[in-house]
Structure 1
Amino acid sequence: MRHILSSLTFLLLFLFCAESAAWGLPSFPLRKRIPQPLVNHLRHERSLQSLQGVKEWLGNQQPLKGAAMTPLSDTKAQGSSGDPIISDVLPKTRGINVFASLTRQFESVEGRLNDPSKNVTVLAPRNSAIQDLPRKPWESPNDYEEFGEIKAYEGDEGQDRAKRNLERFVSAHIVVQSPWGEGEEAETLGGDKLSWRKDGNKIYIEPSGIQVETIAEQVSNGEVWVLDGVINYSQ
């Protein structure tokens, strides 16, 4: 008897579902739509996690090795139509893919590198130089002092601080001039003033004294210089 009742119950349930589908009766999905404020919060969390994972990711990158220094006197500006620009060659330059990836995070930087009418000199730190930083590129001692280590980059406001710091770091390495002569003071996209000097066969960025390992690319709207360190991006 129990078996018969179970079978009848199952049959009735099946018929009800079939009728519901046929008559277009509303269904009640188990998944609920996440409120938009929560969606935005989750996006911020994922973005912050991405920032926090950069340090680990850096360890898997291969540093530049064996590159030869290109003499400054051999650098030539190429202005022909159709020639590659900085944004074309930067991601392909060996050993600086970490910095190249960071330049694509900010419209102000990416837009400048994509503009064939505005020349730039990109001072791209090697992967290992960024990896060896005493703090992450988006960290600021001032933020930790003001908000504490736990809350400095927590929540929406903390996320915004991290993004501003990271943009400042990237902008400090984009000189808005090319060609760039020895001893000539030039401004970065972040507003700082830099120059360079030559000592024998070596080139140094001043005032930080960071050595230029190679001038890796010369294209129609500028050059890519690979650095052994990072420019002082004091925050």
Structure 2
Amino acid sequence: MRHISSTLAFAFLLLFYTVTTAWDLPSLSSRKRIPQPLVDTIQARNERRVDPSRLHEWISNQQPLKGAAMAPSSESTSQGASGDPIISDVLPKTRGINIFASLTRQFESVEGRLNDPRQNVTVLAPRNSAIQDLPRKPWENPQDYEQFGEAKAYEGDEGQDRAKQNLERFVAAHIVIRSPWNEGEEAETLGGDKLTWRKHEDRIYIEPSGIQVDTIAEQVSNGEVWVLNGVLNYSQ
């Protein structure tokens, strides 16, 4: 009996450690972080994947610091009149940009544009690693911390609204409402920013930030998906 009890205790401790590690439960730090339960670390080449259902509930419940493991939700896609794929079809399947792809589905202003086969767009999608390596998260704004303090910037209903608005601006800054988009041609984003791009030694750079385009990953009937090695409209 003693052997069985010891075995059960060990199994329980192992399970508790595994769940705690996988969910990255919050520490005592007061610094706000995007909820790690949204990030699934089991993916090739250390590219992390966000579960859209987790992210959707996090946004809906206005809890940027909390989360729980959830089962994936079913996804619906749209197609153009000819039946050809459109941006909303290919974006979730593009390798290495799962985090940004999941964020686009949380805001009607963005999702509606990507689902519309009649309106062309160029999606400038940051790599997972580019978002993960940011010194602060996309829903954080230094001005919010200056005005409200770190402890209260994203607390309560008003704080949660600020977090969601910041996140929506971040996503909208990466959706160019034009395609095809020619070199040197000024184009506007959903967020109202003006961007151009230039080519130098077979590399494409988004201006005025100078962020490098890693690849043009998809070309479909209503636009293109460009994978970026950084993020746009982001201040330290």
Is TM > 0.5 for Structure 1 vs Structure 2? yes
| Superposed counterparts of 1:25-36, under 5 Å | none
Q: Which structure 1 residue ranges, 5 or more long, are not aligned?
A: 1-50, 65-78
Deviations 1:117-157 (A, max 9, x none): 00000000000000010100000000000000000000000
Write out per-residue CA displacement over residues 90-137 of structure 1, whole angstroms, 9 at most, x where no aligned residue: 000000000000001100000000000000000000000000101000
Q: What are the Cα deviations for residues 50-89 of structure 1, in whole angstroms up to 9, with x where unaligned?
A: x73159727666449xxxxxxxxxxxxxx87110000000
Say whether residues 1:211 and 2:212 are aligned partners: yes
Confirm or deny: 8 A CA contact 2:114 2:121 kept in the other structure. yes
Measured after TM superposition, the shift of residue 232 of structure 1 is 2.0
1:207, 1:189 → 2: CA distance?
A: 17
Q: Within 5 A, what are the aligned runs for 1:222-233?
A: 222-233=223-234
Name the structure 1 match of 2:135: 134
Does the 8 A contact of 2:215 with 2:226 survive in 1?
A: yes
Q: Which residue is equivalent to 2:94?
A: 93
Amino acid at match of 2:177: V
Equivalent position of 1:52 in the other structure: 34
More helix by share: 1
Structure 2 gap segments, 5+ residues each: 1-32, 49-79
Distance 2:224 2:235 in 1: 24
Residue in 2 that maps onto 1:186: 187
Query: Share of identical aligned residues, percent?
Result: 80
Using the TM superposition, give the Cα deviation of residue 167 of structure 1 relative to its aligned residue in structure 2, in angstroms: 0.1
Aligned to 2:154: 153
Larger RCO of the pair (alpha carbons < 8 Å, separation 6+): 1
**One-letter amino acid of the counterpart of residue 164, structure 1:** Q
TM-score normalised according to structure 2 size: 0.68
Structure with larger Rg: 1
| C-alpha contact 1:80 1:220 (8 A) present in aligned 2 | no
How far apart are the structure 1 equivalents of 2:136 and 2:40?
13
TM-score w.r.t. the length of structure 1 is 0.69
Aligned partner letter, 2:35: G
1:151 is paired with a residue whose SS is coil
